[in-house]
Copies of this chain bind each other. A is one copy, B any other.
Amino acid sequence: MGIESKFRVTKQRTIILEELRNVRTHPTALELYIIVKEQLPKISLGTIYRNLEFLAKIGKIIKLESAGCENRYDGFTEEHHHIRCLECGKVGDIFAKCERDIKVIAQEKTDFLVEEHKLEFTGYCPVCKEKIGIKNQRRKKNAEY
């Protein structure tokens, strides 16, 4: 019983973590809300958000804050990368060490203090791959400017 005892174990919190760990996907808060609602019909979206924030803060889950998209959440905290589908937004895992000394190289080139780095992939999920195969025509760029 350390400082952690000031946080409480509620049904909501427990089930949110449980369900997030059950799904193989990386749900948005809303998607998880719908899932959890089956067990706790009265739960509110605010509670989902508050708990996801809390669980991410204590390191039990990962908040996937991707540029320009809804946040998604990952119940698996081992280090890995993510790839997001440009078509449907789905997120997949990539378990690969793609990096080597990146922080060191970067630090040599900036007067910022480098703390973290994030490697993020975008592409197309298996389902969307075919769709885009057809409509993959190149776009011309405006030469005016």
Binding site for B on A (CB under 8 A): 2-5, 7, 9, 13, 17, 55, 58-60, 65-68, 71, 81, 83, 85-86, 92-100, 102, 105-106, 108-126, 129, 140-145
Contacts and interface: CB of A to CB of B under 8 A. Distances in A.
Given A83-B110, A112-B123, 7 more contacts: A3-B140, A86-B115, A93-B110, A96-B109, A98-B105, A113-B129, A114-B121
Contact of A110 (B3, B17, B92, B112): B92
27 contacts: A3-B142, A4-B140, A4-B143, A9-B145, A13-B145, A55-B145, A58-B144, A59-B141, A60-B145, A66-B67, A86-B115, A94-B110, A96-B106, A98-B105, A98-B106, A99-B102, A102-B119, A110-B121, A110-B123, A112-B126, A112-B129, A113-B123, A115-B122, A115-B123, A116-B121, A118-B120, A118-B122
A68 B122 CA distance: 17
A124 B98 contact: no
B108 A96 contact: yes
